[in-house]
Structures are given as structure tokens and as C-alpha cells.
């Protein structure tokens, strides 16, 4: 168990290192007002803290830096999250102010987040669970090309152009779209596939002559897999951090950032609330000296997506934790309002 004094010293060291990125020596701690002991006493405590694994030295006679365990303890017990009023305002404004498409909200959130923090932000787009079909349509562009448009109650628009094969009859297509609109209005997007394969299937046979070809085709056009989407902000922010002075670190980091799948997986498993993952706690090698902070946003208790912030382990946890917290609840709120409006 750590004594009061040890806690204090640990905290001071972490805070100091987060600020300066330099190893912290006993003398510099003693000079600050916070700890009223001599440098020798502090040295002894630091040695103990090192034995317990909370601190490290970069070399045998250097000052101390926090170990990952030290950060862990700091985050779990010592940090007192702060909130800058200005940031709350900024976030609030973005969220409320005339943005009516989720894509936009998410993208601006990512950007604002990275701008405020100077880290890299990643947002895992909302799963489309609660969005419902508003309208399908097909607009013919020329003899053999058309564009299919799908609108959801959240104002999301999917579209896709395609060439219409000879085999498919234009009026069949139209009939089919009409039927689909009739039957699928208000159906949640994630249920579309099921519904199509059961109910609708039978119904269609009656009305449409060359049923199978058209139907398969239509399905391909409208309901193609849309993979989870990632939104980034400040991808190059981390370049400015001194821990990235090593060009090779930069290289491995950015080759990993390109692997969207890997990142999506990282964020996908996020648990509720704000969670901090430090250094090697991360599975992925390229961010083993980064910290990842995640928060989730939700709708009706149902998790919709993840907001994440990626920075050096020496991250300003103090500011960042609360920030993610407010942003995620703010997003959940906006989501909720929508849901009510567009039920």
C-alpha cells in the first residue's frame, strides 16, 4: 500500500512528466511548493516507488519517469479530471448548431476533438441499428444507367449508380421499387435483409414477371454491405509530439493507421463509459507507447459507436478524460433527440 507521501510524489512526477516530457529529478520536486521534504527524502521514496514498479529510470542516474503501471495507478486513483468551460461550449455549439446529418456531426466532432487536444481522434461511426428506411428510389440517368437512392429517417442518404443489364425490364424494376417502398417503410435498416428474404420474397413473385434476375440485382444494388466507417481527426498531430522524434516510430505508426480494419477492431470492443488503455495494454504493436482513450455513445441504452483519442502514454489525462465524457454524452443526447423527432 502506498503512503500519502508516496501518492503525492507519484502524482507530482506524473504531472510534471506529462507537461515537460523530461525525466523528473528529486531536486526539482523539492523545489516546488507541493512537497515539503528534502530532496534526499524524496529520493528514498522514489526508490521505493521504483521498486514497486510505478516509476522507471531511463538510465542508472537519471530522473524518474512514470512506468505504464505508474500511469495506470495515476489514471485510476490520482487524476482529477478537469473541464475547460470553453471546450464544453465549443462542443455544445457544434452539436446543436444546424447539423442535421449524422455524418457531419461525427466528422466535425472528430475534427474539433483533435484540434482541442492536439492528439489524433478516431470515431467509429454509428451502427445503423435504429435508423429506419424512409424511401427507396431509382432514377434513370440514361438508357442503361441508373442511380439508386436510399434515404433513412436520420437523413442519411446512400446512393449508388449502376448499369442496368439488358435482361432486366425497366417497368419490372419500377414495380418492384414501389412494392419495396410500400412494405419496407419504417423498417429498421438492420432488419432489411431478413425481411427481404422472407415476406417480400413471396409477395414479389406475384407481380413481377422475370422475378429472380431483377430481384437479385436490386438487392445487390440497394443492400450492399456498408462497412463500419471510421472518422479521423488530426491524423498528423502526433508527429508534433517529442516521443515521435524517432522517424522509424513514425513510420510504423502511420503504416498501422492506414490499416482501418485493425483500428476498427480496436474500437469495436469498447466497453461503456470512458476507458483508458495504456501502452502495452494495447494489443496492437505500433501503438505500444501510445495511450488510447475510448468512450461510447449510445441510444436507448444501446451502444452505437465509439469515440477514441490516441496520444502518447504521456497524455494529458486530466483534460482529456472529461472531454471525451462530455462529448460522448452530448452525442448520445443529439442522437436521442433525433430519435424522438424521426420516430
**Residues in the site for DNA, rule: CB under 7 A?**
23-28, 37-41, 43-44, 46-47, 50, 57-64
Phi, psi dihedral angles at 231 (to 5 degrees): -115, 130
Taking the complex as a whole, how short is the minimal distance between the CB of residue 44 and DNA, in angstroms? 6
Residue 141 binds which entry of a copy of itself, DNA, none, with Cβ cut-offs from 5 to 8 Å by kind? a copy of itself
Nearest approach, Cβ of 188 to DNA (angstroms)? 58
- Minimal distance, residue 338 CB to DNA, in Å: 53
How far is CA 139 from its chain centroid? 35
Whether the CB-CB separation of 175 and 168 falls below 8 Å is answered with: no
- Distance, first Cα to last Cα, the chain: 53
Question: Least distance (Å) from a copy of itself to the CB of residue 148?
Answer: 10
* CB contact at 8 A, 45 and 38: no
In the complex with a copy of itself, the residue whose CB is nearer, 76 or 343, is 343
Residue 38, binding choice from a copy of itself, DNA, none, Cβ under 5 to 8 Å by partner class:
DNA
Residue 27, contacted partner among a copy of itself, DNA, none, CB below 5-8 A by kind: DNA
223 binds, among a copy of itself, DNA, none (CB under 5 to 8 A by kind): none
The least CB distance from residue 76 to a copy of itself, in Å, is 34
- CA–CA distance, 172 with 146 (Å, rounded to integer): 14
Report the nearest approach of DNA to the CB of residue 29 (Å). 8
b/e sequence 88-120, b meaning 16+ C-beta within 10 Å = eeebeebbeeebeebbebbbbbbbbbbebbebb
Q: Which does 60 bind (CB under 5 to 8 A by kind): a copy of itself, DNA, none?
A: DNA
Min separation Cβ 126 and a copy of itself, Å: 15
- Residue nearer to DNA on the CB measure, 27 or 251: 27
Q: Which is nearer to DNA, 39 or 83 (CB)?
A: 39
Alpha-helix residue ranges (DSSP H) falling in 133-259: 170-184, 192-195, 201-207, 211-222, 247-258
* Gap between the Cα atoms of 275 and 285, Å rounded: 19
Which residue's CB is nearer to a copy of itself, number 51 or number 100?
100
Q: Work out what residue 225 binds among a copy of itself, DNA, none; the CB cut-off runs from 5 to 8 Å by kind.
A: none
Q: What is the Rg, in whole angstroms, of the alpha carbon atoms belonging to the chain? A: 27
Q: What share of the chain is helix, strand, coil (3-state, %, to 5)?
A: 50, 20, 30
Of 44 and 89, the one with the shorter C-beta distance to DNA is: 44
In whole angstroms, how close is the CB of 195 to a copy of itself at the nearest point? 21
Long-range contacts of 138-142 (CB under 8 A, 24+ apart): 138/173, 138/174, 138/177, 140/170
User: Which residues are CB-neighbours of 214 under 8 A, at least 6 positions away?
Assistant: 168, 169, 172, 173, 176, 208
Residue 145 corresponds to which cell in the numbers above?
A: 444507367
Binding site for a copy of itself (CB under 8 A): 98, 100-101, 134-135, 139, 141-145, 147, 149, 151, 153-155, 157, 159-163, 235-236, 239-240, 244-247, 250-251, 254-255, 257-258, 341-343
Residue 70 near which of a copy of itself, DNA, none (CB within 5-8 Å, type-dependent)? none
Amino acid at each position: 500500500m502506498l503512503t500519502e507521501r508516496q501518492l503525492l510524489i507519484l502524482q507530482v512526477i506524473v504531472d510534471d512528466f506529462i507537461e515537460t516530457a523530461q525525466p523528473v529529478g528529486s531536486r526539482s520536486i523539492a523545489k516546488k511548493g507541493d512537497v515539503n521534504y528534502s530532496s534526499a527524502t524524496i529520493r528514498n521514496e522514489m526508490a521505493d516507488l521504483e521498486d514497486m514498479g510505478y516509476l522507471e529510470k531511463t538510465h542508472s542516474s537519471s530522473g524518474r519517469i512514470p512506468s505504464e503501471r505508474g500511469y495506470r495507478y495515476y489514471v485510476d486513483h490520482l487524476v482529477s479530471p478537469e473541464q475547460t468551460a470553453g471546450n464544453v461550449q465549443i462542443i455544445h455549439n457544434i452539436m446543436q448548431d444546424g447539423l442535421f446529418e449524422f455524418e457531419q456531426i461525427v466528422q466535425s466532432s472528430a475534427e474539433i476533438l483533435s484540434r482541442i487536444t492536439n492528439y489524433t481522434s478516431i470515431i467509429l461511426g454509428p451502427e445503423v441499428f435504429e435508423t429506419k428506411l424512409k424511401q427507396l428510389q431509382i432514377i434513370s440517368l440514361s438508357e442503361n444507367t441508373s442511380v439508386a437512392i436510399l434515404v433513412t429517417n436520420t437523413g442519411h442518404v446512400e446512393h449508388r449508380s449502376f448499369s442496368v443489364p439488358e435482361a432486366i425490364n425497366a417497368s419490372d424494376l419500377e414495380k418492384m421499387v414501389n412494392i419495396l417502398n410500400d412494405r419496407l417503410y419504417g423498417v429498421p435498416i438492420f432488419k432489411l435483409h431478413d425481411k427481404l428474404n422472407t415476406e417480400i420474397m413471396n409477395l414479389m413473385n406475384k407481380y413481377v414477371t422475370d422475378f429472380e434476375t431483377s430481384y437479385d440485382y436490386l438487392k445487390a444494388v440497394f443492400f450492399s454491405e456498408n462497412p463500419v466507417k471510421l472518422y479521423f481527426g488530426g491524423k498528423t498531430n502526433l508527429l508534433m509530439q517529442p516521443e515521435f522524434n524517432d522517424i522509424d516510430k513514425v513510420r510504423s505508426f502511420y503504416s498501422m493507421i492506414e490499416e482501418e480494419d485493425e483500428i476498427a477492431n480496436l474500437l469495436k470492443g469498447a466497453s461503456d463509459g470512458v476507458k483508458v488503455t495504456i501502452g502495452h495494454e494495447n494489443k496492437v504493436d505500433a501503438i505500444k507507447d501510445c495511450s488510447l482513450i475510448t468512450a461510447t455513445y449510445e441510444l436507448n441504452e444501446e451502444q452505437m459507436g465509439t469515440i477514441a483519442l490516441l496520444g502518447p502514454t504521456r497524455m494529458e489525462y486530466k483534460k482529456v478524460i472529461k472531454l471525451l465524457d462530455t462529448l460522448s454524452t452530448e452525442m448520445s443526447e443529439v442522437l436521442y433527440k433525433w430519435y424522438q423527432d424521426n420516430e
